[in-house]
């Protein structure tokens, strides 16, 4: 009897043991079904969406487009063509055809209409983006988030941007010069359109995971705010000096803070004009009021940093914003002295080089004086406002300075821009440095990881934070390493190995939103981890 009980127990145990690896394999190989949300709300699908292997296109039943997205759809059985219309957009896709008709134009398709088990299946991303939706894929959660331009993510919901929960800075540069990111030229003089464009951009950036924006408020000796010192920017209305009818800077700060995002006012300190013509400059532009401060270089007008009164003017312009607005930071780009062409500052050099320095050291001294006094002014007025600069990504090459980085860059911050960044860091004149490390892990002349190592060592123990500038704009170019969005993700993973790296800033906003090589879902998933 005991033997029989023991035998039964052994058989049962053996069965359980044999089942364990099967259960483990199933647990590892199974994935949750793909779900879809529109502006945070679930979109029902009576057929589980699926991904076409190797093509990586998510297919959904036509009902998701008609019922979930509210578009008008029509299926023509004879031609096996689906037509979709919404908000002025029209597209048609035909089974087996590799192009679609979008607003009358042929557009290439990775996957067209499929008929599975009698159901009409269509590519979600293609249709969603052509209906004006942002389409984000979360690999971990197996979720597709569709986001409209009017949607404001709820910061209390994990994964809706993640900016408020993040402890690191996740920034994007928003360029206004030549209307690169905002506002568009077609919005000149249109207050409501400019506001809508900006809020839509913020919402899309936040949905990705961005929690700070660096907005160019002084692109070229001008202002995107009412100023007593410089004229209105022409990038608001098309004409410099013309009042746009509202305060863009005040509006942008309010909208950023409403979303829990930091707002950093980005200034181009010494660029006076993008071209050398003065006929279209406003009467109160610095090149008209102080032509003796201006040097023509590379067909642009530059404020001469060698003149003490000119440097003070730039500081006064920046402090006007610090004193009047609730900004989180003052941010300068790397435009100090031009890196090419001639810059005729002989008169200033003769007048102000009282220490008998070489011209290179004298120029660096001018920029050092400017940075030190600007930092002192900002911190005296508002100690909580951070002050940072985004220099060229290579300080000096090791071949020229044994303490420089293991790079072979054609220009450097120290020798070409006359930006003595090491001095700024060591003297704590700045709160953070954001070097533009705009190269990949495989670009041998200036390798990303080597530069992150160098900058991390440079700020270690100084109290100056390090934010890394990333070149989202290079994705899809022929330069080494930029043929996959994974390059950016690999860079972020490398940053995480350095305690000194406190965040990242991406150049520039449009390059994130336009989703080069699928960067948006990859970046969103990374930030949601």
Q: What is the pLDDT of residues 128-177, one digit of tens each?
A: 878 877 666 655 567 787 876 544 444 334 333 333 346 899 999 999 99
pLDDT tier at 52 (50, 70, 90 boundaries)?
A: confident
pLDDT confidence bin for 4, thresholds 50/70/90? very low
Whole-number average pLDDT of the chain: 89
pLDDT digits (tens, 9 = 90+) for 341-350: 999 999 999 9
Q: How far apart are CA 407 and CA 423, in angstroms?
A: 20
CB proximity list for 67: less than 8 A, separation 6 or greater:
44
- The β-bridge relationship of strands 212-218 and 169-174 is parallel
More confident residue, 527 or 109: 527
Q: Which residues 6+ apart lie within 8 Å of 78 measured at CB?
A: none
Q: Tell me if 146 sits within 8 A of 43, measured CB to CB.
A: yes
| d(C-alpha 267, C-alpha 41), whole Å | 39
DSSP alpha helices (H): ranges in 329-440? Answer: 346-352, 359-381, 413-416, 421-426
pLDDT at 125: 84
Backbone CA torsion sign across 446, 447, 448, 453:
negative
Decide: 411 and 446 in contact? Cβ < 8 Å. Answer: no
| pLDDT of 141 | 66
Q: What pLDDT shows up at residue 398?
A: 98
Residues 79, 115: Cα–Cα separation, whole Å: 13
| Overall average pLDDT of the 516-522 stretch | 95
pLDDT tens digits for 284-327?
999 999 999 999 999 999 999 999 999 999 999 999 999 999 99
- Span 386-433, pLDDT tens digits: 999 999 999 999 999 999 999 999 999 999 999 999 999 999 999 999
* pLDDT for res 19: 47
Cα(262)–Cα(171) distance, rounded to whole angstroms? Answer: 9
Residue 434 CB-half CA count within 13 A: 30
Query: What is the pLDDT, as a whole number, of residue 163?
Result: 35
pLDDT at 155: 39
Q: How far is CA 411 from the centre of its chain?
A: 24
Tens of pLDDT, residue by residue over 207-234, are 999 999 999 999 999 999 999 999 999 9
User: What radius of gyration, in Å, describes the C-alpha atoms of the chain?
Assistant: 28
Q: How far apart are CA 172 and CA 424, in angstroms?
A: 23
Rounded to whole angstroms, how far apart are CA atoms 138 and 511? 20
172-209 pLDDT, tens digit each:
999 999 999 999 999 999 999 999 999 999 999 999 99
Of 121, 126, 158, nearest to 40 (Cα)?
Answer: 158
- pLDDT at residue 89 in the model: 79
pLDDT value of residue 128: 84
- What percent of the chain has pLDDT above 90? 74
Q: What is the DSSP string of 75-89?
A: EETTTTEEEEEETTE
pLDDT for residue 334 is more than 90 = yes
Is 75 a residue whose pLDDT tops 60?
yes
Helix, strand or coil, per DSSP, at residue 321: helix
Task: Give the pLDDT band (50/70/90) at residue 117.
Answer: confident
Q: Is the pTM of this model over 0.95?
A: no
With vertex at residue 493, the alpha carbon angle to CA 213 and CA 407, rounded to the nearest 5 degrees, is 90
Q: Do residues 89 and 149 lie in contact, with contact meaning Cβ atoms separated by under 8 Å?
A: no
Q: Regarding beta strands 465-470 and 432-433, do their DSSP bridges make them parallel or antiparallel, or are they unpaired?
A: parallel
Dump pLDDT digits (tens) for 463-506.
Answer: 999 999 999 999 999 999 999 999 999 999 999 999 999 999 99
């Amino acid at each position: 009897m005991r033997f029989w009980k023991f035998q039964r127990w052994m058989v049962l145990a053996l069965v359980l043991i044999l089942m364990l690896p099967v259960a483990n394999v199933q647990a590892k190989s199974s994935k949750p079904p793909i779900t879809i949300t529109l502006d945070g709300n679930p979109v029902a699908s009576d057929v589980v969406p699926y991904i076409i292997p190797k093509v990586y296109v998510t297919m959904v039943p036509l009902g998701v487009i008609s019922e979930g997205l509210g578009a008008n759809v029509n299926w023509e059985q004879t031609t096996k063509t689906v037509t979709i219309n919404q908000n002025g957009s029209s597209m048609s896709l035909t089974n087996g055809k590799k192009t679609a008709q979008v607003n009358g134009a042929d557009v290439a398709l990775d996957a067209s209409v499929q008929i599975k088990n009698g159901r009409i299946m269509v590519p979600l991303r293609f249709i969603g983006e052509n209906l004006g939706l942002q389409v984000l894929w979360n690999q971990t959660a197996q979720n597709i988030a569709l986001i409209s331009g009017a949607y404001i993510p709820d910061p209390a919901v994990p994964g809706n941007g993640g900016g408020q929960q993040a402890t690191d800075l996740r920034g994007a540069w928003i360029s206004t010069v030549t209307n690169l990111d905002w506002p568009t030229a077609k919005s000149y003089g249109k207050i409501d359109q400019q506001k809508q464009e900006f809020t839509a951009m913020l919402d899309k950036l936040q949905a990705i995971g961005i929690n700070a924006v660096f907005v160019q408020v002084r692109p070229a000796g001008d202002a995107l705010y009412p100023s007593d010192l410089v004229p209105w920017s022409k990038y608001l209305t098309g004409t410099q000096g013309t009042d746009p009818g509202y305060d863009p800077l005040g509006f942008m700060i309010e909208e950023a803070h409403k979303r829990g995002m930091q707002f950093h006012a980005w200034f181009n300190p010494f660029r006076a004009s993008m071209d050398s013509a003065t006929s279209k400059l406003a009467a109160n532009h610095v090149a008209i009021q102080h032509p003796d401060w201006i040097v023509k270089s590379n067909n642009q007008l530059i404020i001469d940093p060698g003149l003490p009164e000119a440097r003070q003017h730039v500081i006064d312009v920046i402090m006007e914003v610090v004193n009047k607005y609730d900004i989180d930071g003052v941010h300068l780009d790397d435009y100090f002295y031009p890196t090419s062409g001639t810059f005729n500052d002989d008169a200033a050099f003769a007048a102000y080089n009282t220490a008998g320095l070489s011209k290179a050291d004298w120029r660096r001294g001018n920029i050092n004086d400017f940075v030190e006094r600007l930092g002192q002014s900002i911190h005296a007025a508002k100690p909580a406002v951070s002050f940072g600069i985004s220099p060229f990504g290579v300080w000096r090459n090791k071949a020229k300075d044994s303490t420089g980085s293991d790079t072979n860059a054609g220009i450097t911050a120290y020798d070409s821009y006359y930006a003595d960044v090491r001095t700024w860091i060591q003297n704590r004149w700045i709160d953070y440095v954001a070097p533009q490390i705009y190269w990949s892990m495989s670009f041998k002349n200036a390798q990303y990881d080597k530069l992150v190592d160098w900058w991390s060592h440079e700020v270690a123990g100084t109290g100056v934070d390090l934010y890394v500038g990333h070149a989202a704009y290079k994705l899809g170019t022929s330069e080494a390493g930029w043929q996959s969005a994974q390059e950016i993700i690999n860079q972020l993973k490398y940053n995480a190995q350095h305690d000194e790296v406190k965040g990242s800033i991406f150049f520039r906003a449009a390059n994130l939103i336009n989703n080069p090589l699928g960067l948006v879902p990859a970046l969103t998933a990374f930030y949601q981890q």
